[in-house]
Chains A and B, each alone.
Chain A
Amino acid sequence: MPAPGITATAGPSPHFVLICKALLNLGLFALLLGCSGCVRASDESTLEKILRTGVARVGYANEAPYAYMDSDQRRLTGEAPEIARIILKRMGVQRVEGVLLTEFGTLIPGLKARRFDLIAAGMYITPPRARQVAFSNPTYAIGEALIVARDNPLQLHSYTDVVENPEARLGVAAGAIQRRYAKELGVPDSRLVVFPDAPSALAGVGAGRVDAYAATSLTAGDLLRRTSSVAVELAEPFENPVINGKPAVGYGAFAFHKDDHDLVATFNHHLAEFIGTPEHLELIESFGFSEATLPGDVTAAELSREVSP
């Protein structure tokens, strides 16, 4: 074996050589990642960008019938993406690209980090959310429902029934509005179970992990239509909850980055010309929406206003 050094400590300190090599390697590594992974932010507004490229990226959380990948995994569909396609086309954007987030709760952080240009997930307009993002005007209005085990063993027909029965455990999906309803109506935390998504919550009722799963009437109806399980059913009749003196009707809309005023304004302009037309009703019919779920003339601004408790 060659022994080039005169003594073991001659020349530049071996520590020094080692450190230099390590730093060099780290630097190369960082550079490599930097080049492959970085996308520079520019001064161009989102509206200008999607008009120039002809592509808009929409974030969704795979929840039928609002926004989901159809069962052959070919096409993003649902109430929100289909409406977005039409409105964006009228604005001059030809293509809609879906960005799928497996958790509903990560949609708003994703939008703020500009991982996509808008949220098309039928997201309800609420004051806390409106502090984070800018909403379009609503495209639908719907009420609530409970999914329970077959024959509804605990006879749960409202949130109040859940509150009053000390045995009843209520499931909700993470990030969904029902968690807030449950809290405001007095369901204690110890009896509230948060599932990562709607299918898990449904499976939770089937497996007896919770006694009821609270969802919008559309989500509930859709899940029950598609499941093969006979262990679960819709709680009927169901008394829609009243929050702060107002019936808990959810208004679903598109959400945009707070800085994209021009995009929201243009989108709203085209939306107003489309909502309620026969073309709109025909489009949303297959997703279980109808004339009864039209939002009326409620605006995003009204729904975003904070209500004093």
Chain B
Amino acid sequence: MSLAEFMGPLLTGALITIQLTVMAALFGGILAILAGVAKMYGNAAVRAFASVYVEVFRGTSALVQLFWFFFALPLIGIQLTAMAAGVVVLALNLGAYGAEVVRGAVKAVPKGQWEACLALNMTRVQALRHVVLPQALVAMLPPASNLVIELLKNTALVSLITIPEITFQAQTLRAATLQTTAIFSLVLLIYFLIAMVLVYGFRRLEANLSQGLHLGRAH
């Protein structure tokens, strides 16, 4: 088999890799904001719940979590499809790491902003939603792009639970042709290209969201 013939299966796999990355980034992003905000502003029970979630998922191996969701959960009667198990584990991990990024970014918004909101008679929820989070969002983007690129590469883990993403396709091709070097070189290149697109996307997003923001910021 030649390089050109490898491309078909590898690109099919790359599509699934992109799908996994996008879905996990969406769910994980929502989880990160929920958990980050809950850790700061929740009551004791919510704070404890959010902390347990963050520490459990940061503190255990994603690979083992994946095996557990795929091979152990069915033994207690919960049968997630491979794709669902993959997205859930990736999103829960991203959410756990992301929660700290969210917390840091919200903390970094100057206190004066909160005071100004109070002066305008806004509730804390309103202040958070309309004033603080939009500013924090911009500060979150650089570390978030880091996390999402890491997520992209972590999707390779789900090759172990029968999802035919790019690493899985590479392993299959390798078993059939034994051309390890050529196949893995191509895979590295494809991951790199996807990562570059992500980097570019985050840069654009950051440029768009921060428009006009510096004008209103107290220095």
Interface residues of A (CB under 8 A from B): 1, 3, 5-11, 14-15, 17-19, 22, 25-26, 29, 33, 36-41, 62-64, 68-71, 73, 99-103, 106, 109-110, 112-115, 197-200, 202-203, 223, 226-229
B27, B121, B159, B177: the one within 8 Å of A7 (CB) = B121
B37 with A68: CB separation less than 8 A: no
A109 to B160, CA, bound (A): 12
Residues of A within 8 A of B128 (CB): 18
Q: B180 on the interface (CB 8 Å rule)?
A: yes
Q: B81 on the interface (CB 8 Å rule)?
A: yes
Q: Mark B70-113, 1 if CB is under 8 A from A, else 0.
A: 11111101111111110010000000000000000000000000
A22 with B37: CB separation less than 8 A: yes
Q: Mark B53-79, 1 if CB is under 8 A from A, else 0.
A: 000000000000001001111110111
Nearest-CB distance from A207 to chain B (Å)? 9
B70 with A62: CB separation less than 8 A: no
Q: Given A71-B176, A228-B178, check contact A1 B120 (CB 8 Å).
A: yes
A101 to B71, CA, bound (A): 12
A166 to B78, CA, bound (A): 49
A15 to B177, CA, bound (A): 59
Interface residues of B (CB under 8 A from A): 1, 9, 27, 30, 34, 37-38, 41-43, 46, 67, 70-75, 77-85, 88, 118, 120-126, 128, 130, 159-160, 162, 164, 168, 171-172, 174-180
Name the residue among A6, A10, A15, A223 with the largest chain B CB count within 10 angstroms. A15
A8 with B1: CB separation less than 8 A: no
A25 with B176: CB separation less than 8 A: no
Question: Is the contact region of chain B dominated by helix, strand, or loop, or is it mixed?
Answer: helix
B43, B80, B162: the one within 8 Å of A15 (CB) = B43
Q: Given A39-B79, A41-B77, A197-B175, check contact A3 B121 (CB 8 Å).
A: yes
Closest A residue to B8 by beta carbon equals A73
A199 with B122: CB separation less than 8 A: no
Nearest-CB distance from A87 to chain B (Å)? 24
A112 to B122, CA, bound (A): 56
Residues of A within 8 A of B74 (CB): 113-115
Nearest-CB distance from A3 to chain B (Å)? 4
Closest B residue to A112 by beta carbon equals B75
Closest A residue to B43 by beta carbon equals A15
B37, B81, B171: the one within 8 Å of A197 (CB) = B171
A69 to B164, CA, bound (A): 13
A33 to B43, CA, bound (A): 27
Residues of B within 8 A of A197 (CB): 171, 175
Closest A residue to B72 by beta carbon equals A113
A200 to B175, CA, bound (A): 9
A26, A36, A41: the one within 8 Å of B34 (CB) = A26
Nearest-CB distance from B35 to chain A (Å)? 9
A8 with B71: CB separation less than 8 A: no
